[in-house]
Structure 1
Amino acid sequence: MISRKLIVAWSFLLFCLAAAGIVSLVLGIVWKQPNLLINLFISVSDTNAGIAMGVTFLVTSLFAVLAIMQPNASTTLLHVLNWMLVGVGLEVVSIGTFIWYYTLTEKTDFDELWVIQPQDSIVQLQNMFSCCGYFNGTDHAVYQGFCANMQQAMNSTGCFVPLTGAADVMLNDVFSTVYGFMFIVILFFLATACVINKRLEAERFRKIDEKRGGSGFV
């Protein structure tokens, strides 16, 4: 017989996986909305990956419910669930590592993004961070708003420091959260393995008991 504590732990981890799926799905959709900073920091491929990860978590959670509802003698779906969790884990590590790697090349990446921004967007960024241009006041600066005074603009520091600083905070939070999801996946995998082991053990004892005529063990 599977202990109540194990079932409670397994159910809690199932809830955590489903909650992680909802969070990932919602953030992926919300971050697709027009927002100058978020759209700079989080690419379309990032939001698509977040949505895909959220859907994967939710589908896996639904399958887990079906798997746990199978008779105790059947562990096939639970084995399939653990293989699914291995796949989910690989997906999570891939997405988290991709975002982490992006944080290593922020200075160059945002330089390329800055150049292709519309003038209105550059003005908004310059006003937001009180700076002019990317590396300095002559590097693709737009002389409006905070940088309307040409002499002040030329002496102003570039926007790459506050811009990459803000991006670093957000992207670090994102990939740390993604790796945190991996912790849930690993624990859920282990909990499912424990449930499988307990079910096999219970079934083995049931068969032994049948051979003894159903009298049970002393």
Structure 2
Amino acid sequence: MISRKLVAVWSFLLVCLVAAGIVSLVLGILWKQPDLLRNLIISTSDTTAGIAMGVTFLVTALFAIIAILQPNANTMLLHVLNWILVGVGLEVVSIGTFIWYYTLTEMSDFDALWLVQSPDNIVQLQDIFQCCGYFNGTDHAVYQGFCANMATAMNNTGCFVPLTGDADVTLNNIFTTVYGFMFIIILFFLATACVINKRVELERFKRIDEKRGGTGFV
């Protein structure tokens, strides 16, 4: 019989995978809702990737439950589970790295995004961060709201520092969390490998016991 500690660890990691899937799925859906600043920092591709990752986690967890309920002699589905976990791990690393790479080019990326914003959106951003223009008060600024006073606008710093600063914190938190999910996947892979080895061992002893006439070992 597989030890209760191993079963408890495997079950705990399964719950962690389900929780990670729910968090990723819910946040991916919520972050698709209209919000000027958040939609500027977190792109549609990011939220779509989050939803896809959440669905992948939940489907993997469901498959894991089916695999663990198979008889001890049948470890094929557990082996398949570990191959699935390898694929899921590659997905997680890819998404996390994509978001991390985006943090390296924030200044130029947000400059391009700023240029395509409507005047109303720029006014909202200027009011949020109490700044004018992107790099300075003459760089695609809209002289309304906080920047209505020209003297204030001309002497005010641009919005790129607070905007990229806010984006940096948000994106760093996101890709750190995504990489944290990788920790769950690695441990779940190892726990599943331990379950496979233990089941193979038990089946081997069972066959030996049957050859001995079911008397067991001394």
State TM-score, norm by structure 1: 1.00
- What's the counterpart of residue 58 of structure 2? 58
- What's the counterpart of residue 7 of structure 2? 7
1: CA distance, partners of 2:115 / 2:39: 15
* 1:130 has 2:127 as partner: no
- What's the counterpart of residue 105 of structure 2? 105
After superposition, what is the alpha-carbon deviation per residue over 1:115-173, rounded to whole angstroms, capped at 9, x for unaligned? 10111110011011110000000000000000000111011000000000000000000
After superposition, what is the alpha-carbon deviation per residue over 1:90-114, rounded to whole angstroms, capped at 9, x for unaligned? 0000000000000000000000000
Moved over 2 A (4+): none
- What's the counterpart of residue 77 of structure 1? 77
2: CA distance, partners of 1:151 / 1:138: 11
- What's the counterpart of residue 146 of structure 1? 146
For the aligned residues, what is the CA RMSD? 0.4
- What's the counterpart of residue 156 of structure 2? 156
1: CA distance, partners of 2:114 / 2:8: 51
1: CA distance, partners of 2:111 / 2:30: 25
- What's the counterpart of residue 88 of structure 2? 88
- Residue identity in the other structure for 2:164: T
- What's the counterpart of residue 200 of structure 2? 200
Give aligned-pair identity as a percent: 80
1: CA distance, partners of 2:118 / 2:187: 46
After superposition, what is the alpha-carbon deviation per residue over 1:57-96, rounded to whole angstroms, capped at 9, x for unaligned? 0000000000000001110000000000000000000000
- What's the counterpart of residue 116 of structure 2? 116
- What's the counterpart of residue 37 of structure 2? 37
2: CA distance, partners of 1:204 / 1:195: 14
2: CA distance, partners of 1:101 / 1:22: 25
Secondary structure at the counterpart of residue 97 of structure 1: helix
- Residue identity in the other structure for 1:4: R
1:191 shift after superposition:
0.2
- What's the counterpart of residue 18 of structure 2? 18
- In the alignment, structure 1 segments of 5+ residues that lack a partner are none
- Residue identity in the other structure for 2:7: I
- In the alignment, structure 2 segments of 5+ residues that lack a partner are none
Secondary structure at the counterpart of residue 158 of structure 1: coil
Secondary structure at the counterpart of residue 5 of structure 2: helix
2: CA distance, partners of 1:208 / 1:38: 63
